[in-house]
């Protein structure tokens, strides 16, 4: 496999970034941190939607949400439009943890972007945003 293949590079960069995140002293798994960040961005999101966003099975997410709820970081609230569904919301205890996650993300980004100019980083982020939009066009995410 060629290492200049964009799919290979993106996948491997993600793997390496996850490995770097795992070096942090956060008291949660990277997937728990991702779920918490997504809930902060999309408060009220339903579990099924969040599972799709995180690309994990709903049963796996249910256990993950149970852990975050047990730690009083998020809560399930009944959806006013559908009595069978629940939305996910942040609890007050999540705020300092989200700040720590943000600092950890900045640390990993600084390491990943070493040797790149601000212009290169900006162009990379712009190109990736366009790719994301193109690939998300027929998706509900």
Give pLDDT tens digits for 58-77.
999 999 999 999 999 999 99
**Mean pLDDT across 117-130:** 95
Task: Please indicate, yes or no, if residue 97 is contained in any of the structural domains.
Answer: yes
Which position has the token pair 């007050």? 92
Asked whether the CA dihedral 58, 59, 62, 67 is positive or negative, the reply is negative
Task: Please indicate, yes or no, if residue 35 is contained in any of the structural domains.
Answer: yes
Cβ(88)–Cβ(45) below 8 Å? yes
Structural domain that includes position 29: 6-136
Q: Is the pLDDT of residue 3 over 70?
A: no
Task: Please indicate, yes or no, if residue 1 is contained in any of the structural domains.
Answer: no
Task: Please indicate, yes or no, if residue 141 is contained in any of the structural domains.
Answer: no
SS3 state of residue 69: helix
What CATH number did the domain enclosing 60 receive?
1.10.10.10
Task: Please indicate, yes or no, if residue 57 is contained in any of the structural domains.
Answer: yes
Of the ranges 21-35, 93-107, 127-141, the best mean pLDDT one: 93-107
Question: In the chain, how many domains are there?
Answer: 1
Tokens of 110: 């600084």
Cβ(24)–Cβ(104) below 8 Å? yes
When pLDDT is cut at 50, 70 and 90, the band that residue 140 belongs to is low
pLDDT tens digits, one per residue of 74-107: 999 998 888 888 899 999 999 999 999 999 999 9
When pLDDT is cut at 50, 70 and 90, the band that residue 1 belongs to is very low
At how many degrees (to 10) do helices 30-41 and 58-70 cross? Answer: 90
Task: Please indicate, yes or no, if residue 74 is contained in any of the structural domains.
Answer: yes
């Amino acid at each position: 496999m060629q290492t200049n293949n964009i799919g290979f590079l993106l996948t491997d960069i993600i793997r390496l970034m996850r490995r770097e995140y795992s070096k942090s002293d956060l008291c949660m798994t990277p997937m728990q941190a991702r779920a918490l960040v997504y809930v902060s961005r999309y408060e009220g999101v339903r579990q099924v939607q969040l599972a799709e966003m995180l690309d994990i099975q709903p049963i796996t997410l249910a256990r993950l949400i149970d852990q975050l709820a047990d730690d009083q970081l998020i809560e399930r609230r009944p959806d006013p439009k559908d009595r069978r569904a629940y939305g996910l919301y942040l609890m007050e205890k999540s705020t300092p943890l989200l700040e720590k996650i943000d600092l950890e993300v900045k640390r990993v980004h600084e390491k990943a972007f070493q040797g790149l100019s601000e212009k290169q980083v900006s162009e990379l982020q712009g190109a990736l945003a366009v790719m994301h939009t193109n690939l998300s066009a027929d998706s509900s995410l």
